[in-house]
Amino acid sequence: DAGITQSPRHKVTETGTPVTLRCHQTENHRYMYWYRQDPGHGLRLIHYSYGVKDTDKGEVSDGYSVSRSKTEDFLLTLESATSSQTSVYFCAISLEGPYSRANVLTFGAGSRLTVL
């Protein structure tokens, strides 16, 4: 299996608190992504990164920020968590970019976040 580690795997927090989820990869893939998965929705892209310090917004980026200071680490931050951000968050990596026909994603195990 690809080396992708997400932490924490489970977190319960209160509305208004900051939360940071970490994704760490050992595959040296250039592209990294954060998705959220909710019942009744397909996986939705929050942010992605195409290199160190290079990031861009996805379709549901409001309320989230990201940082990538090293190739292997991609952080997702909820500055002030809300109940609508209760979800399962998946990090993914890929060798090819988002516009490549061969863009195959490898996912981490997920981080389950509950905001009370």
Contacting residues toward another protein, per CB under 8 A: 40-45, 48, 56-59, 90, 98-110
Q: How far is the CB of 95 from another protein (least distance, A)?
A: 12
The nearer residue to another protein, 14 or 111, going by C-beta atoms, is 111
For residue 20, with 0-12 CB atoms within 10 Å meaning exposed, 13-18 middle and 19 or more buried, which class applies? Answer: middle
CB of 74 to another protein, least distance (A): 15
Closer to another protein by CB, 12 or 104: give it: 104
Per-position b or e across 50-72, b if 16+ CB within 10 A of its CB: eeeeebeebebbeebebbbeeeb
> Is the Cβ of residue 75 or residue 105 nearer to another protein in the bound state?
105
Closest approach of another protein to the CB of residue 58, in Å = 5
